Structure 1
Amino acid sequence: MKYAFMTMDVESYYDIECFKGRNVEYQEKYSCEEAMIDYVHLLDKYNIKGTFFTLCSSLPLARPFLKEAITNGHELALHGFDHTSPLSMNEKEFEESILKSKKILEDEFHTIIKGYRAPCFGILDSYIEILKRNGFSYDSSSLNFHLAINSGKVNLETYERLNHLCYKKDSFFEITPNRVRAYSGHLPVSGGGYIRLVPWFVIKYYIWKCIRNTDCYMFYVHPYEVSRKKAPHMKDIKFVEWFFVRIGRKSYLKKIERIIKYLKKKGFEFKSLGEYTKTA
């Protein structure tokens, strides 16, 4: 069986790394959590149950859209209290943060949180142990891409490999984003700017290259990527940052739909990460 997982990191423009440290003034008109509902409706259209990794700091604006997602059968998971990489915390701070955040989401939405994805994919083996002893059953943070800012790495050699993305150890799962060999290294092809910023024929080629010999594919997106709101203004912004924040958003939802259709055509069954880990 081939599986596909559709996920979203529920956060705002103001959580993008290039905005941090620039004293960008917060304005609610630029927050884009409401754009997630378009993604929810797209998944509902194809009867797909997605996983929504949520920041507690996004709740004031994302709350009604998350409630609709949960009502429609989608899975709620944790992305953190705010968009601070765990690599900037010590182990005690990380544990306190996830416990506080987990309780907030569970009390708010009356659901059990079992999954976690670290902001910036910032994860280490010691933090996995903290997740395990605090009620989490899976993590999806091991990107293992050297250009990703503030990201970490998990030693997967100690895990049992279930398929091309999913690893298991002591009833705990690590589910990694896809990477594909490109030029002299490996390129993430699971979503974000790696997918949004390039033309469809390039995406289709790399997804084909990725899935031709694999049995799993995971996609992730952020609300701002499918939002039609303008990005907040930044002074002295570098061109690469301007390009990353603004380009490709208006057409991205249609591009995601093409990815869904392509994966269905290739025989992939869609599940939330929580659904998969219950039966794997």
Structure 2
Amino acid sequence: MAEHRIVNGLSVDVEDWFQVGAFEQVIDRKDWDGLALRVEDNVARILDLFAEAGVKATFFTLGWVAERNGPLMRRIVDAGHELASHGYDHARVFTLDRRRFANDILHTRKILEDATGTPITGYRAPSFSIDARTPWAHAELIEQGYTYSSSVAPVVHDHYGWRDAPRFAFRPVADAELIEIPVTTAILGGRRVGAGGGGFFRVLPYGFSRWAIQQVNRRERRPAIFYFHPWEIDPDQPRVADASVKSRLRHYTNLRRMTPKLRDLLRDFAWGRMDEIARREAQGAIALAA
């Protein structure tokens, strides 16, 4: 049964199979243009899937991808979805200083806006890499006119995580309009667990994600924030033999099951764009203590 009273945030992190954090040590950025580009076909399939389900979503897109796929960016917007920034080339925010971060988000925003003529107001950091190490990141987003970010994972994880961040929407800078909307976590055995999509959704049984979203919607009366990647619906993508066993297991497990699980998810809950979630959540967003 769909959760009609709570509209959840549906998002796609638009990056190709070779641009993921799991492969950043074995695939050099300078080699990207020589690799098979599969993101256009995968996003087209996602657009068809969303149209079939009658849902709208936000596509957090790398500037590198948008540069090479202008017509696809226009197709996303023309279908009624939101286009938002995912940075230029998937550099994690905590690997940058403020100046380099500022240049990254400015450059990416220009690419996206030039491709579609649509204002870009949302941002998601690659690998949810805004955390306690980047106290200047939200301030820079505010300075550049962004209205929301969905860049925080309030969990402990080996690749990312801001353990002490709030679980739901908050204002990271007092008296500023920008709100941060963390990816969803659930409470299991008194502990926070990641439950907002990505590998958690693909690897674990669908029942876990359904339970977690129901917990957030029914018990806490808040929207869930869900994300996935175009490569996750692509079981025929190239294999990266040089990656670690752990990285390969994370990346390739259950790729063939992803599309049917997404259809179940889109059917069982109500979904909307992240900018719409941000507008509603802004009314109750807490201020982050200094």
- Give the TM-score of the pair, scaled to structure 1: 0.86
CA deviations 1:55-93 (Å, max 9, x no partner) are 011125543332211101100100001110010111111
- Residues 6-155 of structure 1 correspond to what in structure 2 (within 5 A)? 6-23=10-27, 26=32, 27-29=34-36, 31-123=38-130, 124-152=134-162
Q: Runs of 5+ in structure 2 lacking a partner?
A: 283-290
SS at match of 1:251: helix
Q: Runs of 5+ in structure 1 lacking a partner?
A: 157-163
Q: 2:7 aligns with which of 3, 11, 18?
A: 3
- The answer to whether the aligner puts 1:249 opposite 2:247 as a matched pair is no
Contact conserved, 1:7 with 1:52, CA < 8 A, in 2? yes
CA deviations 1:33-68 (Å, max 9, x no partner) are 420122222222232221010101112554333221
Residue identity in the other structure for 2:180: E
Contact conserved, 1:32 with 1:227, CA < 8 A, in 2? no
Contact conserved, 1:9 with 1:223, CA < 8 A, in 2? yes
Contact conserved, 2:43 with 2:230, CA < 8 A, in 1? yes
1:226 Cα shift? 1.0
| Cα 1:125–1:116 shift into 2, 3 Å | same
- Give the TM-score of the pair, scaled to structure 2: 0.83
CA RMSD of aligned residues (A): 2.3
- The answer to whether the aligner puts 1:261 opposite 2:262 as a matched pair is no
How many Å separate the matches in 2 of 1:233 and 1:155?
34
SS at match of 2:251: helix
How many Å separate the matches in 1 of 2:113 and 2:37?
27
Contact conserved, 1:85 with 1:150, CA < 8 A, in 2? no
- The answer to whether the aligner puts 1:166 opposite 2:172 as a matched pair is no
Report % sequence identity.
Answer: 23
Number of residue pairs matched by the alignment: 267
Specify which structure has the higher proportion of strand. Answer: 1
How many Å separate the matches in 2 of 1:148 and 1:137?
29
